[in-house]
Amino acid sequence: MGLTDPTPPPGPSEAELAGVSPNFLTTRLDALTNWGRANSLWPMPFGTACCAIEFMATAAGRFDLARFGMERMSFSPRQADVLICAGRLPFKLAPIIRRIWDQMPQPKWSISMGACASSGGIFDTYTMVQGIDTIIPVDVYVPGCPPRPEGLIYGIRLLQKKIMGETMADPTLRVEQMVDRSGFFLPPARVDELSEPFGNSVHQTRSA
Amino acid sequence: MSEAHADLAPNGVKGPGPVSALRAAFGASVLRDRVSCGDAIVWVDGARSHDILGWLRDTPGQEFNYLTDVTAVEYRDPEHPLEVVYQLRSLPRKTDLRVKVPLDKSAALEVDSVWDLWKGADWLEREVYDMFGVRFRGHPDLRRILMWDTYAEGHPLRKDFPLRGHFTRAEQTRQALAANTEAHYSIEELSIAEAFDELPEDVRRRLARGERGQVK
């Protein structure tokens, strides 16, 4: 992919981490920026299945996502803050959600909405990504099949809570995680571990 | 045949059904027939399937001019042949006919394309090729349609295909992430696009209108 960085950015050294400590000024600035960020999240809707119907219901008048600062759906990743993957993700869409995530500017967050986006759900098959966290980092998982709008709103409130706890003193927060040269976002063993079958699926062998 | 005979003109349509006429025209190439749930089904020999389907489309009194679907079935019994299914509809006569072509799994899975009879068979046959690996002789553009072009795990609806695919999840994820999202066109289409300026004038006009020709 065009955005792949051949050399992943180095993490902060011990000295760097030790040099940054929160003080009165940074914590006040944090409070201000986090308040602004948490209350003006523009979602990038990535709706692929029935969860997208619930997402639309959440955005519509009765549940009114705009109450939480999600004033506008951002159909361009360039103006989006939070990627909401609503629905199952087939392997064919994996590079596309990856590309959209790479195109979103920092600061950015993501919500995995529903059982399929979080774990593959009932689709433990040859076509389906077993959880979008093998493709992009995920901040909040919303369980449900599909989650009711209240569930999604609760997930968004959790994300706002998480944003309120962020601090600029942590240099690791806004580091871009790129797909590495081998085409992996996570180490292969970690992908396999995250994709482990569960529930009824464990009784099926790979050859069945 | 048995009492459930496909010639009994299902769906209350008057007149002789297609099977006796088919038998008269093609003899032993019509393998067997039956009625299931009111639907007439006829099994035909793969070597004559194109002639038979063309005959069904063009013969007055048959006029199966609409190809509803092309699909295939593989049965759990390994001895049972894989069947390519053509679901035909006669719009003027308001009747249906299902034509099945059994393919021996020990030989190459090949059958004549009906793309020249019904243009709508193009994507249907590509899907059967993608999912079952049946090759259609004479198809203009036989390549995968649902799975991506570089998909290397096989044909997913075959019985010997494991539900989770042949590769590990990590390998599947790596291949998916390595896919080029800009690649909307097949190699053939790209080579046509590159050679566009060298093509004859009439071919360029046809391509500009979105027509496709035979790809060698």
Extents of the domains making up chain B: 1-146
How many angstroms away from the CA of B169 is the closest CA of chain A?
Answer: 6
Indicate yes or no: CB of B177 within 8 angstroms of CB of A184: yes
> In this complex, is the C-beta atom of A130 within 8 Å of any C-beta atom belonging to chain B?
yes
Q: How would residue A208 be classed by pLDDT, with cut points 50, 70 and 90?
A: very low
pLDDT in tens, B162-202: 888 888 888 888 888 887 776 666 666 666 667 777 777 87
Query: Residue B99's closest CA among B62, B131, B52?
Result: B52
Residues of A in contact with B151 (CB under 8 A): none
The pLDDT mean for chain A works out to 83
In 10 A of CB A117, how many CB atoms? 30
pLDDT at A7 over 70: no
Indicate yes or no: CB of A134 within 8 angstroms of CB of B173: yes
CA dihedral (A195, A199, A201, A203) positive or negative: positive
Nearest to A183 among B156, B169, B177 (CB): B177
Indicate yes or no: CB of B169 within 8 angstroms of CB of A195: yes
Indicate yes or no: CB of A208 within 8 angstroms of CB of B163: yes
Residues of A in contact with B148 (CB under 8 A): 92
How many angstroms away from the CA of B8 is the closest CA of chain A?
Answer: 42
Residue B1: what pLDDT? 41
Q: Which residue has the higher pLDDT, A135 or B207?
A: A135
pLDDT at A191 over 70: yes
Domains and CATH numbers, chain A: 42-198 (3.40.50.12280)
pLDDT in tens, A103-123: 999 889 999 999 989 988 888
pLDDT at A145 over 70: yes
DSSP B55-104: HHHHSTTT---EEEEEEEE--SSTTSPEEEEEEEEETTTTEEEEEEEEE-
Cβ-contact B34, B91 below 8 angstroms: no
pLDDT at B84 over 90: yes
Q: What is the mean pLDDT of residues B145-154?
A: 85
Q: What is the mean pLDDT of residues B2-26?
A: 62
* Lowest-pLDDT choice from A155-169, A172-186, B46-60, B98-112: A172-186
pLDDT in tens, A47-91: 898 999 999 999 888 998 888 888 788 888 999 999 999 999 999
Indicate yes or no: CB of A191 within 8 angstroms of CB of B169: yes
User: Minimal Cα distance from A99: which residue of B?
Assistant: B181
Please tell me the CATH code under which domain B1-146 is placed: 3.30.460.80
> In this complex, is the C-beta atom of A3 within 8 Å of any C-beta atom belonging to chain B?
no
Residues of A in contact with B163 (CB under 8 A): 124-126, 204, 208
Q: What is the mean pLDDT of residues A28-48?
A: 89
The burial of A23, by beta-carbon neighbours within 10 Å (0-12 exposed, 13-18 middle, 19 or more buried), is given as exposed
Q: What is the mean pLDDT of residues A166-181?
A: 79
Tokens at A129, concatenated: 């990504």
> B-contacting residues of A 18-77, CB under 8 Å?
none
Indicate yes or no: CB of A184 within 8 angstroms of CB of B173: yes
Indicate yes or no: CB of A130 within 8 angstroms of CB of B169: yes
Q: Structure pTM? A: 0.77
Query: Residue B172's closest CA among B154, B188, B159?
Result: B154
Query: Residue B44's closest CA among B96, B103, B88?
Result: B103
The contacts of residue B181 (CB under 8 Å, 6+ apart) are: A1, A95, A96, A99
Q: Which amino acid is located at B80 in the chain?
A: H
Nearest to B164 among A95, A98, A124 (CB): A124
Q: How would residue B216 be classed by pLDDT, with cut points 50, 70 and 90?
A: very low
